[in-house]
Amino acid sequence: MDTKIIEIDSNNIEMSSINIAAKVLRNGGIVAFPTETVYGLGADTFNEDAVKKIFIAKGRPSDNPLISHIHDISQLNDLAIEVPDYTDKLTSKFWPGPLTLIFKKTPSVPDITTAGLDTVAVRMPSHPVALAFLKAAGVPVAAPSANISGRPSPTHPRDVIADLNGKIDVIIKSNKSEIGLESTVLDISGISPIVLRPGAVTLKQLSEALDMDIIYNKVSDNAEGSIPKSPGMKYKHYSPKAQLIMVIGDINNIVKMVIETANHNLSNGKTVGILSTIQTNSMYKDFDQVICLGDREKTKTISSSLFTSLRDMDNLDVDIIIAEGIIEDGLGIAIMNRLRKASDVILDSNNTVQKY
């Protein structure tokens, strides 16, 4: 298939180009588009055949439901029923933005979109190109991240092109995704709100908005064998091709163990890449392949570069990637969730070997 690549400047949105992409979508095609979290791969939520194309292009398991993207709150009526009274406490604060809400679904949302669940995930993204595209499309747009299933989510148009060129109708090429991690997923379809996936809208922000304690149970990050509430969370995810080892613990112990682990693998003839942070980067000057993720004190710098850096390491063709864990607080909870899911091995530098 010939994929049409349409470039759009987010500071000067060319509506005639947006309309070309929107028309393809309305006619049952699939279109990759930028959002502030990661790039999405969209189809008309109500068009079963179009949604099926997304699962095929991504190689996505059919039991993993999609998020429907809207540009206007009035579209919620077409998707959700039994909307809780407190919903506007969330939407008024966090929409448009990186928060996905799960509601009971209307009968018009097809089973393929929600993987047979009686609930639907909805998000209003804040990226100006996403909003313009959704408005022009005129229908809710079901969109997972625009990567081949299992690979790190795409935060740059080149990642979308690498994974999906030739497999989809259109790629809207714009700037790099600012946040770099997928949205927070909050299930409000049950008795009390539950975070299914941590993201840039933090637990503290949700707790404040709802005036109740909102927690995230990280044990569910890798709970194999259990029945996950969010089907997507049971799959190994965000994975580079190389083996990923994450080292957690106190910062000094982490650095020591990263160096030991790197040297051990190098002496076994493996090529090794290290994902450092500004605070630790100078400790790894003896190693060739080091990518600095960002500043431990400014976790936004780490979230926005994590997935691209995993892809960059693959492009360097290393056998082993060693990453440092960071403190699990605020955005750090989401970053560590993605690193855990991408890891083949987790080493606790304070303690014994473990995999959560």
Nearer to Mg ion (CB atom), residue 40 or residue 97: 40
Q: Give yes or no for a contact between 201 and 339, defined as CB atoms under 8 angstroms apart.
A: no
Is the C-alpha dihedral spanning 117, 109, 154, 194 positive or negative? negative
Residue 120 binds ligand TXA, judged by CB under 6 A: yes
- Please provide residue 295's backbone torsions phi and psi, each rounded to the nearest 5 degrees: -105, 125
Q: Which of 17, 45, 91, 114 lies at the binding interface for ligand TXA (CB under 6 A)?
A: 114
Q: Which of 97, 140, 144, 325 lies at the binding interface for ligand TXA (CB under 6 A)?
A: 144
- What x/- string results for residues 58 through 77 when contact with ligand TXA is judged by CB under 6 A? ------xxxx----------
Residue 145 binds Mg ion, judged by CB under 5 A: yes
Residue 213 CB coordination number (10 Å): 9
Range in contact with ligand TXA (rule: CB under 6 A) among 4-12, 178-186, 254-262, 336-344: 178-186
Residue 31 binds ligand TXA, judged by CB under 6 A: no
Site residues for Mg ion, 43-102, by CB under 5 A, read none
What's the CA gap between 302 and 335, in Å, rounded? 8
- Tell me which residue has tokens 């039994």: 82
The edge-to-edge listing of strands for the beta sheet with 320-324 is: 289-292, 272-276, 320-324, 243-248, 345-348, 353-354
Residue 209: CB minimum distance to Mg ion, A: 25
Residue 178: CB minimum distance to Mg ion, A: 18
What's the CA gap between 135 and 75, in Å, rounded? 11
Residue 311: CB minimum distance to ligand TXA, A: 16
Nearer to ligand TXA (CB atom), residue 130 or residue 290: 130
Number of residues engaging ligand TXA in binding (CB under 6 A): 29
Residue 171 binds ligand TXA, judged by CB under 6 A: no
Residue 102 binds ligand TXA, judged by CB under 6 A: yes
Range in contact with ligand TXA (rule: CB under 6 A) among 8-16, 117-125, 161-169, 322-330: 117-125
Q: Give yes or no for a contact between 66 and 144, defined as CB atoms under 8 angstroms apart.
A: yes
**Angle subtended at Cα 262 by Cα 220 and Cα 343, rounded to the nearest 5 degrees:** 15
Number of helices and strands (H, E) in the chain? 11, 17
Nearer to Mg ion (CB atom), residue 17 or residue 100: 100
Which residues of the chain form contacts with Mg ion (CB under 5 A)?
A: 144-145
